[in-house]
Amino acid sequence: MPGEETTDLLEGAKEVLQVNDRGGWTVPAGRLYPHQWLWDSCFIAIGLRHIDIERAQTELRSLLRGQWANGMLPNIVFTGEAARRETNLWRSWVNPYAPADVNTSGVTQPPMLAEAVLKIGQLLKPPERRSWYKEMLPALISYHEWLYADRDPHQEGLILLLHPYESGLDNSPPWISELRKHSMPWWISVIERLKLDIAVNFVRTDTKHVSPGQRMSNVEAMAYWAAVRRLRRKAYNSEALISRSLFAVEDLAFNSIFIRANNCLRVIAKTAGRQLPETLADSMSRTEKALEQLWDEESGLYFSRSFVSHKLVQEPTIACLLPLYSGGISRNRAQQLVGLLKRRSMFQASWPVPSVPLSSPYFSPFKYWQGPSWVNTNWLIIEGLKNYGFTAEAKSLQDKTVKLIAKNGFYEYFNPLTGEPAGAPNFSWTAALTIDFLKS
């Protein structure tokens, strides 16, 4: 891209992060998402480190306000009056470990924190780097320990998730299919059959900001709301939830990100001159080996797996490519995933990378996590490609992503066939990761 255009894009990205700054933390998008989200803030900090490293550090520190006493990092830290409706849905106070002075959700999100901490540290001088890592280490260790203690009850190495929001890919097909099998309340099925779900439009706030055709369906939204209420009724106690339900998924995207996060944690601890607790280190090496259990030889794809039945949920999505980011797969497997990225019926779109394959029956080019291309998943794939030495593929995907944003703006997601923008405008992680692309 010519120098002038790059400068404009960089300035535009900085402006988005300025507008979304709430003093100490950043909203994903002003109107649609007015609180602090876990993996959003990590991507935001990864971009911010290039232009204002102190703000990047503050962004991550402020996430820790929401950390529960058992180590859980919630996907949302609520703020302000606007949060009354949401806090009343989640009621984090029903769990004894939730912080007393901040309202949060009761579930987590992909563990991107270690990567963000590590990447910020790499831009600091050695003494500051060590003290930054020392400062963040206790929170990181207790988060990773919580994931094992609470979400890997059989010590299989794979982390289970209890709500689709935890995957970050909210209405991704494997979650919809598991939800329909194991967690669809009868009254929602009746509403669906009678086509009465249209009434939900009156209470939904997201579709007031973004066209309903670009968000999850009313039936999905109702089912997700009911799933939150179920978690709340059990006070977010995973043992009680797992013993009474089949709705628990060993999510492929989450576990791929977790493997990379564990590696980041090892580097952070080593640089800080600290040792990781032995049991944590043992669990971490189990996870790396366990990922291969999610491989399906017949289709040549990785999938998420049902925690209870141990059956793979054979719905291909963008998650199929994320083992590349984990860094924990063989070169041969990585090569197979690059093949998928280039295959027309799978992920080779005009404006890559679609969140489900083009041939999937779920594919719909504007529909949230069921088709559109997202900048954060592109970033994860690019990082993975670089790590495995697929330099040309990484460069091509990065150039396409930057071009897509330069042409259409800092939107939440994009139609992979036409490049048209969708979802929220001025979306923070799109802006932050653009800065990372331009500066790295």
Tokens of 277: 């607790």
Q: How far apart are CA 373 and CA 366, in angstroms?
A: 9
Residue whose CB is less far from ligand GLC, 43 or 148: 43
Residue whose CB is less far from ligand GLC, 33 or 236: 33
Residues that bind ligand GLC (CB under 6 A): 28, 33, 37, 39-40, 168, 170
Q: How far is the CB of 35 from ligand GLC (least distance, A)?
A: 9
Residue whose CB is less far from ligand GLC, 374 or 437: 374
User: Within 10 A of 13 (CB to CB), how many other CB atoms are there?
Assistant: 24
Q: How far is the CB of 47 from ligand GLC (least distance, A)?
A: 14
Tell me whether the omega of the peptide bond preceding residue 27 falls within 30 degrees of 0, making it cis: no
Residue whose CB is less far from ligand GLC, 132 or 224: 224
Q: Of the candidates 40, 268, 282, which has an alpha carbon nearest to the alpha carbon of residue 140?
A: 268
Point out the catalytic residue in the list 152, 166, 412, 436.
412
Q: How far apart are CA 351 and CA 403, in angstroms?
A: 9
Tokens of 306: 């049902």
Point out the catalytic residue in the list 115, 150, 170, 178.
170
Is residue 262 helix, strand or coil? helix
Q: How far is the CB of 77 from ligand GLC (least distance, A)?
A: 12
Tokens of 70: 């058992």
Q: How far is the CB of 209 from ligand GLC (least distance, A)?
A: 12
Element (H, E) at 313: strand 312-313
Residue whose CB is less far from ligand GLC, 132 or 429: 429
Q: How far is the CB of 170 from ligand GLC (least distance, A)?
A: 4
Q: Which residue in this structure is represented by tokens 């490293």?
A: 53
Q: How far is the CB of 196 from ligand GLC (least distance, A)?
A: 25
Is 5 assigned a catalytic role? no
Pairing relationship of beta strands 295-296 and 301-302 according to DSSP bridges = antiparallel
User: Within 10 A of 256 (CB to CB), how many other CB atoms are there?
Assistant: 27
Q: Which residues contact 56 (CB under 8 A, 6 or more apart)?
A: 44, 45, 46, 48, 49, 116, 120
DSSP 131-152: HHHHHHHHHHHHHHHHHHHHH-
Residue whose CB is less far from ligand GLC, 33 or 307: 33
Is 412 assigned a catalytic role? yes
List active site positions: 170, 412
